[in-house]
Amino acid sequence: MKEKLYFLLSMIIFGAVGVFAKYIDLSSSKIALFLSLIGAVFLLFIFVFRKQKISWVIVRKNAFVLFIAGIALSGNWIFLFQAYKETTISNAALSYYFAPVLVIMFSPLVLKEKLSLKKVMCIIGALLGLFLILQNSTMESTGNHLLGIGYGLIAAGFYAVLTMANKFIRGMDGLTITLLQLGLSLLLLIPLVLFTEGFNFSSLTWRPIFVIFLLGILHGGIGFYMFFTGMKGLKAQSIAVLSYVDPLTSLMISAFIIREGMTVQQLIGAAFLLGSIWIGETGTSKLKMNEL
């Protein structure tokens, strides 16, 4: 029961990230940079407190995959946060949650997994759901909704790469993998921000600083810690089902807190998208990979 509560809370935290990212007056690259920094420091504290050690021999064996994962994590956050800035939280969350479909589509090529008829039907259903969401967005008169959904899909692509890359990592526990990937993401984002925007934060007031700090602790630190702690005591099917709390949290926040609203067509599209992925993931014995 404790593990289920931890995992459920982590999904709620992940689903609420759009509220923070949408209203921070910084570029997506800088938000991702701060998230990596604060999350890495927080998890490093937990790592030291638990007296864990890193085997650098194992790290060297996984170095290439970890590097790819670090790039994917950085790109994932940059485009996801930009999606939240361009469109509604619901549109960004739904387009981003297309990532499991991409994993299913490319797993036969990358992971050599068989693509069953059930999975093909789920892909078709998810594509139909995405089509309905896109159709509705072309009729919106305000905001760059199509652009935001496009950013969300690119973020989903990076997340799919991150998911598949993590399947190739061997001999490392979840906390160590996350700490190293956050550290690599930080090292990649520092030069990116330096050469594209610079480190000018003179316009920042205490409120966005507080929100960034809260985002880093909640999403980058506590959320991931609860995610990995809860995952250990849960079965794969429970993880797959409970993971839907993430996008559902985003939809509820969008509708009831931010008051962005959703049309009937969007709701039907969301049902097709999330329902297809749910059918595709339940009933399988394979563990859903890290949600980063």
Q: pLDDT for 83-100, tens place per residue?
A: 988 888 888 888 887 777
- State how far the Cα of 121 lies from the Cα of 129, in Å rounded to an integer: 12
Domain presence at residue 95: yes
Total structural domains within the chain: 1
Domain presence at residue 207: yes
Average pLDDT in the chain: 81
Q: What is the pLDDT of residue 111?
A: 67
CA separation, residue 28 to residues 189, 233, 245 (Å): 11, 34, 24
- State how far the Cα of 93 lies from the Cα of 15, in Å rounded to an integer: 8
Domain presence at residue 287: no
**Which residue type occupies 23?**
Y
pTM over 0.85: no
Domain presence at residue 291: no
What are the tens digits of pLDDT across the range 210-257?
888 888 888 878 887 787 777 666 765 566 567 777 778 887 887 777
Domain presence at residue 40: yes
Q: What is the pLDDT of residue 82?
A: 92
Long-range contacts of 131-134 (CB under 8 A, 24+ apart): 131/269, 132/265, 132/266, 132/268, 132/269, 132/272, 133/91, 133/94, 133/95, 133/265, 133/266, 133/269, 133/270, 133/273
Domain presence at residue 23: yes
Domain presence at residue 102: yes
Domain presence at residue 234: yes
What are the tens digits of pLDDT across the range 139-159?
554 557 888 889 999 998 998
For 56, residues 6+ apart whose C-beta sits below 8 A from its C-beta are none
- State how far the Cα of 64 lies from the Cα of 261, in Å rounded to an integer: 43
Instruction: Tell whether the model's pLDDT for residue 14 goes beyond 70.
Output: yes
Q: Which domain holds residue 244?
A: 2-281
pLDDT band at residue 283 under the 50/70/90 scheme: low
3-state secondary structure at position 209? helix
